[in-house]
Amino acid sequence: MNRAVPEEIIEEIRSRIDIVDLIGSYIPVKRAGATFKACCPFHQEKTPSFVITPQRQRYHCFGCGKGGDVFRFVMEHEGVDFPAAIHMLAGRCGVIIPERQYSSPQEAQEAKVVRNRKERLYELHEAVSKFYAANLRNEPQSPVSLYFAGRGIPAELAEKFGIGAAPDGWQTTMDWCSKQGFTVDEMLDGGIILASENKPGSYYDRFRNRLVFPIWNEQGRVVAFSARTVEADSGGAKYVNSPETMIFRKSHVLYALPLARQAIQQYGFFIMCEGQLDTIAMHQAGFANAVAPQGTAFTNEQARILRRYSDRAYICFDSDSAGIKATLRAFDILLPLDFEVKVIILPGNSDPDELLKTQGEEAVKAAVNNAVDFFDFLYRHKVAEHDVSTPGGKTRIVADFITYLQKLSNSVMRSLYAARLSSLLGINEEAVFRELNKYRKKEKFAASRKQLMTQESLPTGDAHEGTANDVSGAANNAMELLPPEIVHAEKTLLPLAIAEEAVAQRLSAELPAGQISETALGRAINEVIKLTMQGEWHSVLQHLNDWERENPDPVLSSILADAVDFKKKYIAKATDDCIATIRNYYRDRRKEDILNSMRTTTDPEERLALLKELMSV
């Protein structure tokens, strides 16, 4: 939650914005009884599975699982964070967001200084970007302009990407910025200039005689630059990039994302290129859904940003050893996040820019259309590494593959790929499954130990007051480890507790925290119990809306979007049955634990104590 915006302002925005009107301004929606339906804007589909519930002011897609309230919709559709969504919706409904209240004049002044410094850096980068672009246009005979002309990038595309030219002078950019009113400190903070090591008090331009590409953040503001040399043998780095600053963290920025957002949703996938020129070439060839990591490495943060727009990734890195390694690292990041991953293999070990120049747009389109599944790419690579005709080679291939297959959270997908691998290698299918299961058990055991060690190092507190941030990644797989009857019981109890305070009170009285799962559903039930114990059951639905925004889960989203009208006569029985199911399950588990302990203990007193406990369970 963004505490800089008062809660009453957030609630006023929520009350003024009707979710049907909001979503209807983005996509066509149709009434379907008490709800509205549409084709989901977050994935491609022909039959509408995107449902809007006016009564709950929520949406949920039963196809891709995305759901939430008005704030979540803007965050997902516009690709912005929660504070930005608040401000966008405030402008839409005419709510004025007051300045944050600070505890002291000094705190307010410090915050204002930071705000002003950031805003000045945005203004500086925007101004310098326009300066470089004008320099490219107005100096057609400069080395940079001549080099750029040879790249064959159309003028309209150059304007769209804001491509510019850094002058060939040691202080040309600095002098221009000074005339615009920017200080040396601001230029240093923004990485536009550098301090001389040989002459104290002297400064020089970071970018000189280079083709410059402005880098935007998610909101489309220029935050950095990447500059390519135009000299065949410059003696310096091929690319010079802005340093990280108050407004630029390269691990959180993707090149051309503001230009690619709509195309990603239109195509249903994004193309990940290696650099700026390859990305621009893809756009030129008709694939405006292309982006690139800022810097050499693709990061988890960048993957999670892209996940907002599509769960289908096409990787288009170079075919050399460095490009293959980068592709495999991308698999490590994308597969655990449930991306469908394909690899674009360009003919002749070319890159998109070269292919476009030598063979034209059709060749690029053919390469994209013929993209191979990550499995096929990985198999080709491993067969080239190991001798597939020998038992040792096959063993190493299976071992390498398993490290990737175990990253897949979908058990059906894992099984299909494992069966395919055994068929390709001509080995027993059960052998591959055994190795995969051994690896997964080993990984789960390691994750459980890590979680246990983390929990033991934390201070103890009220069992019902744990937060989502206290739950490790190992808990994300908890749903698939629970028996179906427990999952069904929790799926039933949560909406009942939201609808009826009496049910919530029963859960707080009859279900200990240890008998509630660590899934998103279980943690949501704990949130309901916590509020009920605090006498705030009336705010459960609003609280869960906010809580789910920070803990997104498809199952929880569908429950919160479903305004079920429960029949009173069935509520008590359903609650009884679900509580009994859960208590019986955990009672049986405890009995099994006691019996196992009795089999191993040699201490008569301990055995007697265990027997007494067994009789009382």
Q: Does domain 477-616 have CATH number 2.60.40?
A: no
- Name beta bridge partners: 213: 226
Q: What is the DSSP string of 434-498?
A: HHHHHHHHHHHHHHHHHHHHHHHHSPP--GGG--GGGS-GGGGGHHHHS-HHHHHHHHHHHHHHH
* Residue 333 neighbours by CB under 8 Å, 6+ apart: 298, 299, 300, 303
Say if CB 599 and CB 532 are below 8 A apart.
no
On whether the CB atoms of residues 148 and 159 are closer than 8 A, the answer is: no
CA–CA gap between residue 238 and residue 267 (Å, rounded)? 33
Q: CA–CA separation, 51 vs 31, rounded Å?
A: 10
For tokens 């459980």, name the residue.
Answer: 448
Count of Cβ atoms closer than 10 Å to residue 452 Cβ:
12
Task: Tell me the per-residue pLDDT of 545-587, one tens digit each, with 9 for 90 and over.
Answer: 888 887 788 888 888 888 766 777 778 888 888 888 988 888 8
pLDDT tens across 178-197, in order?
Answer: 999 999 999 999 999 999 98
**CATH H superfamily, domain 109-248:** DNA primase, catalytic core, N-terminal domain (3.90.980.10)
Amino acid, res. 56 = R
One-letter identity of residue 343: V
CATH number for the 254-379 domain, one of 3.30.43.10, 3.40.50.1000, 3.40.190.10, 3.40.1360.10? Answer: 3.40.1360.10
CATH of 7-93, one of 3.40.50.10860, 3.90.580.10, 3.20.20.70, 3.10.105.10: 3.90.580.10
Reading the block at residue 472, the tokens are 């490790």
Structure tokens at 408: 């897949």
CB-based contact 557:60 (threshold 8 Å): yes
**Of 550, 499, 489, whose CA–CA distance to 528 is shortest?**
499
> What pLDDT is stored for residue 442 in this prediction?
62
Contact 125, 253 (CB under 8 A): no
| Whole-prediction pTM | 0.60
Query: What is the model's pLDDT at position 7?
Result: 75
Domain definitions of the chain by residue range: 7-93, 109-248, 254-379, 386-445, 477-616
Residue type, 444: K
* pLDDT value of residue 443: 57
**Three-state DSSP class for 576?**
helix
Q: What pLDDT is recorded for position 102?
A: 57
Report pLDDT for 617: 61
Low-confidence ranges of the chain (pLDDT < 50): 1-3, 445, 447-477
E strands present in 337-400: 340-343, 372-373
